[in-house]
């Protein structure tokens, strides 16, 4: 994982963390949470500390929210960033962040549109694999969670889009945008088994390049996936409203909570930044693959 490399940021962050640990007596795991939250923010906006303002922080939170981070996590990050800049201000640094202009994060009482890691594993591990359709269902949901795809992107994958040697899938996203998404080794294995041994059974001698097919050998539909998902949720015993987008939000939330750089998660999701049209410049594909494999809970 990339560390911050700005000497001013490093010095200020270390001073603040020392203050939390020694002067405030904060527990080690709490200090580490502060470190993770602040490093991610400082990496996202690498500029002199005196240049930060409320707009930068609001834009950062809007971006986090738009890719699925839940309000409880956003509220924690707001506290960390606020306390950091308040500390710097008390150290007589030239700080220009007015937190009165940074809206407080309301903690929703509704069930968030994501699953915990344990809930996701419970759902995925409860899926039966006794017939071709069940095997297909398992592969689709594992791939949806492992790669953070939109349901339209998942259903649009063809047999030509998987680059086996590089362990990535070519995804055609919104607005004709394309991106390569890493695929975990264990998921790649079940996708390969499905394509080689199960898909031919579903194809029924038809000509169709789409990877995921229904029982008639046609492209799997959104409604077909929805019905399959609701049955799987019911059988798993989970008492939550789960949609295909829940997988995408869970993917983003779990990686961000594990400490993955926000820009990496944005790149994996194919999500456009609200702040700049060139937010993903020079992201190395090999580093992307290694980071995804290292931090994804299912790896």
Residue 271 annotated to the active site? yes
Which CATH superfamily is 117-295 part of?
Answer: Intergrase catalytic core (1.10.443.10)
pLDDT digit string, tens, across residues 85-102: 999 889 888 888 888 888
- Do the domains at 7-101 and 117-295 have one common CATH topology? no
Residue 245 annotated to the active site? yes
pLDDT digit string, tens, across residues 24-48: 888 888 888 888 889 888 888 888 8
The overall pTM is greater than 0.75: no
Residue 16 to residue 35: CA distance in whole angstroms = 9
- Contact by Cβ (8 Å): 295, 258: yes
Residue tagged active-site, from 174, 177, 215, 222: 174
Q: What stretches of 19-53 show up as alpha helix (H) in DSSP?
A: 28-44
Q: Residue 3's pLDDT is what?
A: 61
Residue tagged active-site, from 77, 136, 271, 292: 271
Residue tagged active-site, from 19, 76, 280, 298: 280
SS (H, E, C) 156-167: CCECCCEECCCC
Among 136-140, 187-191, 278-282, name the one with the lowest average pLDDT.
278-282
pLDDT digit string, tens, across residues 141-199: 999 999 999 998 999 999 999 999 999 999 987 667 788 899 999 999 999 999 999 99
Residue tagged active-site, from 150, 249, 263, 292: 150
Tokens of 236: 């798993």
Residue 174 annotated to the active site? yes
Q: Residue 289's pLDDT is what?
A: 67
Tokens of 196: 């080689």
Mean confidence (pLDDT) of the chain: 84
Q: What stretches of the chain show up as alpha helix (H) in DSSP?
A: 7-18, 28-44, 54-66, 71-90, 117-125, 132-147, 151-155, 185-193, 199-203, 222-236, 244-257, 262-269, 285-295
pLDDT above 90: residue 204: no
Collapse the DSSP code of 44 into the 3-class scheme (helix H, G, I; strand E, B; otherwise coil) and give the result: helix
If pLDDT is split at 50, 70 and 90, which confidence band does 126 have?
very high
11's CB contacts (< 8 A; 6+ apart) are: none
Residue 172 annotated to the active site? no
Residue tagged active-site, from 138, 248, 292, 296: 248
Q: Where are the domains of the chain?
A: 7-101, 117-295
**Class of the CATH domain delimited by 7-101:** mainly alpha
């Amino acid at each position: 994982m990339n560390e911050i490399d700005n000497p001013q940021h490093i010095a200020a962050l270390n001073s603040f963390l020392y203050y939390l640990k020694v002067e405030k007596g904060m527990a080690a795991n709490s200090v580490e949470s502060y470190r993770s939250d602040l490093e991610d923010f400082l990496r996202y906006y690498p500029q002199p500390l005196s240049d930060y303002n409320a707009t930068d922080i609001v834009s950062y939170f809007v971006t986090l929210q738009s890719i699925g981070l839940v309000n409880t996590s956003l509220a924690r990050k707001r506290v960390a960033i606020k306390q950091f800049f308040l500390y710097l201000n008390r150290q007589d640094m030239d700080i220009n962040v007015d937190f009165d202009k940074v809206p407080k994060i309301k903690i929703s009482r509704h069930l968030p549109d994501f699953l915990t890691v344990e809930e996701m594993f419970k759902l995925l591990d409860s899926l039966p694999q006794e017939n071709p359709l069940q095997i297909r269902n398992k592969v689709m949901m594992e791939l949806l969670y492992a790669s953070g795809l939109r349901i339209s992107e998942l259903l649009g994958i063809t047999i030509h889009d998987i680059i086996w040697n590089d362990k990535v899938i070519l995804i055609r996203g919104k607005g004709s945008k394309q991106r390569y998404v890493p695929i975990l080794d264990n998921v790649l294995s079940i996708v390969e088994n499905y394509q080689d041994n199960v898909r031919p059974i579903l194809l029924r001698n038809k000509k169709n390049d789409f990877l995921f097919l229904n029982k008639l050998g046609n492209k799997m539909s959104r409604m077909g996936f929805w019905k399959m998902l609701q049955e799987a949720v019911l059988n798993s015993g989970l008492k939550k409203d789960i949609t295909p987008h829940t997988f995408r939000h869970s993917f983003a939330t779990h990686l961000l909570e594990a400490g993955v750089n926000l820009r990496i998660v944005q790149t994996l999701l194919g999500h456009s930044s609200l702040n700049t049209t060139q937010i993903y410049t020079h992201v190395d594909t090999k580093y992307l693959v290694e980071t995804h494999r290292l931090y994804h809970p299912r790896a």
